Structure 1
Amino acid sequence: MEEKDLISVVVPVYNGQQYVKTCLEALLGQTYSNLEIIVINDGSTDQSATYIQEYPVKLINLEKNQGLSFARNTGMDAATGKFIHFMDVDDVVNLNYYELMHTAIVDTDADIACSEIINKARPQKSQRFKTERVYTATHDKLEATYVGKMGFVWRYLFNTDFLKKHALRFQEGRLMEDLMFSLPAVFFAEKVVVVPKAEYTYCHQENSIMTNKDEAHRKKRREDKQHAKDAALEFARKHNFEIPGVTTGKLRYIIKKWVT
């Protein structure tokens, strides 16, 4: 297997000491070994930084918690790989994830490779692919990935030059930041390839950004979710397209999620 292309894997960590060892050991055990693992310690107050230092990774320590978007942007700025992947520390990828994703994106000369989603908490929101396939038309790219409904950035392997060309960045200061990175990325990509058997497992941990029950946090999450939705709709209006599962084909999306 050819591994000449460096893949940068950006892993933000905030008080993730219970997950960081499992995450880093899984990354270091990948069948594709030419990985630049960049861990952004986002002002953790637990033992995360100490644990991270035990592994051969590039560690960037932020003095105070700046948020997931800032951490991801910091990692993106530090990345030197031809391709880049954003990994959440409390999630899991299968051991040949990067091998499969790299082979697909290189063989098809795509801007983005899209993996399967295994949603442990809500299996009906998982997504599998039967065959590898390349999409180029706007509607086909958006429907194949259902990025408007599942905007998770961690399911994509991006060509780094493609991200730079379109100046794609995460909006800082907001929760629910994935959608307004992933939607423009899929829209601007000339080719998107979907990759069967490359499995990203979303573990939906307690007290994560998505599950934290603090009322102030919940309020901000609701507000930022609406902000992301409004921004996505405005982006679609500006570029004159419909968003499958959101502004069109809602029933088809629901049926697909429950049947597949």
Structure 2
Amino acid sequence: MSNAKVSIVIPVYNAEKYIERCIDSIIGQSYAEWEIIAVNDGSTDSSLARLNRYAYDKRIIVIDIPNGGVVNARNVALKSASGSYLTFVDADDYLPSDAILRMMEKMDGQDVDLVIGGYTLHWERDNRFKDVNNKKDFCTADDCLDYCIRYGETFLPVKMYRMDLFRRSVNIPHDIIFMEDTIGVMQYLCCCRKVAAVDGSIYVYFKNNGSASMTIRPKTVASMLGVAEFLMKYVEADTCGSRQVLIGKSGDLLLTVMGHLDLIPEHTDRFRKLLAHYSELSLSQSGIRDKILKLYLSSPSWSLAWLGCLIRLTRIKSTVKKLLWRMIH
């Protein structure tokens, strides 16, 4: 295995409680050839001051910019990155001490374009941990894309990339504020040859007490519409495999947008056009989701009524699952 440098990008926004743990977990890595590019994205707390405490270490680059969102912060970091390989860490998360080494053993030793690993969930509330490991190993990028989309593993972290390929292939639109990682992972995988999986956890997601479920805002709904449009363009261009999985994900997003279309009335015509296009792409789809979506084109009020029933049924199922989980655990 070579001693190639790994660039570790950390977007930072109001992470004063966690950023030192994050950086310390990288300083303590068993693999020594790394650099950190930490971008303070207009934090209003003491995050920048805490980052500057690491100025003594020449491997740690701190960049301070006005708030522009995570996509912009990552792009700024990439301009300063000098590594041959790339990985991402969120400021409130951290890495096991051998994470970079194990990813490099796969990346360098097996000559692959992407390494994906398992991760650990760490809840602050009760200091509980849960490991989430890969279900399978991968040979092709299409297999990996199918897995990532199907199981929601489309995070830019928990993966290692080739820097040159990432720079050539990934270009996430700045107006996407929801599921931006999904777009980045898709763009990269569509340019990959081989993918390898690391056994066990290479990343710790920290679920802090301040975490809340995502608030549905107009910008979020508009962003969902943009992601659905992006996915359908990939299906239409036949750029990569996993056609049915991508169509299904587009349908899920359009169904969510339909339920919140009142927040973005200016996008109604755009939604109807995308829905008509989705109907053409999903001719073989016959589930309840697709029936509700296609009904909207002829009878929006009936479609929304059926959607309300579906949401209530889903909530009931979710409540039952939670009760069963508590009984078992």
Q: State the TM-score, normalizing by the size of structure 2.
A: 0.65
Secondary structure in structure 1 of the residue aligned to 2:204: strand
Look up the match of 2:168. Answer: 165
1:202 is aligned, of 184, 205, 228, to 205
The letter of the residue matching 2:133 is R
Question: Which of 1 and 2 has greater Rg?
Answer: 2
Cα deviation, 1:36-88, whole Å, max 9, x if unaligned, reads 011001111211111011112110111x1011000000111111000011110
SS at 1:110's partner residue?
coil
Structure-1 separation of matches of 2:214 and 2:208:
9
Name the counterpart of 1:136: 140
More helix by share: 2
Percent identity between matched residues is 23
| Structure 2 match to 1:17 | 16
How large is the RMSD of aligned CA atoms in angstroms? Answer: 3.0
- Match of 1:15, as an amino acid? N
Aligned to 2:228: 229
How many angstroms apart in 2 are the aligned matches of 1:66 and 1:206? 25
- When residues 127 and 232 of structure 1 are mapped into structure 2, their CA distance, relative to the original with a 3 A threshold, is farther
**2:278 match:** none
Q: CA 1:113 to 1:51, structure 2 compared with 1: closer, same or farther past 3 Å? A: same
Letter paired with 2:145:
L
Q: Distance in 2 between matches of 1:184 and 1:148?
A: 18
CA distance in 2, matches of 1:101, 1:13: 23
Superposed CA deviations along residues 102-146 of structure 1, whole A, max 9, x for unmatched, are 11011111111111133457x9x9741377x442262x2223434
Superposed, 1:64-213 pairs within 5 Å as 64-120=66-122, 127-129=132-134, 133-136=137-140, 138=142, 140-146=143-149, 149-166=152-169, 168-176=170-178, 177-205=180-208, 211=213, 213=215
**Unaligned residue ranges in structure 2 (runs of 5+):** 253-286, 288-324
1:35-54 alignment, distance < 5 Å = 35-54=34-53
Q: Which moved more, 1:98-107 or 1:220-229?
A: 220-229
Distance in 2 of aligned mates of 1:68 and 1:179: 13
State the TM-score, normalized to the length of structure 1.
0.81
Looking at structure 2, the residues matched to 248 and 237 of structure 1 have their Cα atoms a distance apart, in angstroms, of 14
Q: 1:7 to 1:221 in 2, by over 3 A?
A: same
CA contact (8 A) 2:141 2:195 kept: no
Moved more, 141-150 or 192-201: 141-150
Offset of residue 147 of structure 1:
6.8
Counterpart for residue 61 of structure 1:
64
User: 1:14 deviation in Å?
Assistant: 1.0
Q: Aligned equivalents of 1:211 and 1:128: distance in 2?
A: 24
Kindly state the Cα deviation for residue 212 of structure 1 after the two structures are TM-superposed.
5.5
- How far off its partner does 1:226 sit? 3.4
Q: CA deviation at 1:232?
A: 1.8
The answer (yes or no) to whether the contact 1:205–1:211 under 8 Å persists in 2 is no
Q: Residue 37 of structure 2 contacts residue 63 of structure 2 at CA under 8 Å; is this kept in 1? A: yes
Q: Residues 111 and 159 of structure 1 are in contact (CA less than 8 Å); yes or no, is this contact kept in structure 2?
A: yes
- Give distance in 1, aligned partners of 2:151 and 2:75: 22
Partners of 2:229 and 2:89 lie apart in 1 by 26
Aligned residues: 241
CA contact (8 A) 1:23 1:90 kept: yes
Matches of 2:122 and 2:46, distance apart in 1: 27
Cα distance change of structure 1 residues 203 and 246 upon mapping to structure 2, 3 Å threshold: farther
Measured in 2, the distance between the counterparts of 1:229 and 1:108 equals 34
Q: Deviations over 1:188-218 (max 9, x none)?
A: 101111111243222244666x7454x6xx3
Aligned to 1:254: none
Whole-Å separation in 2 of the counterparts to 1:118 and 1:78: 29
Deviation at 1:34, TM superposition (A): 1.2
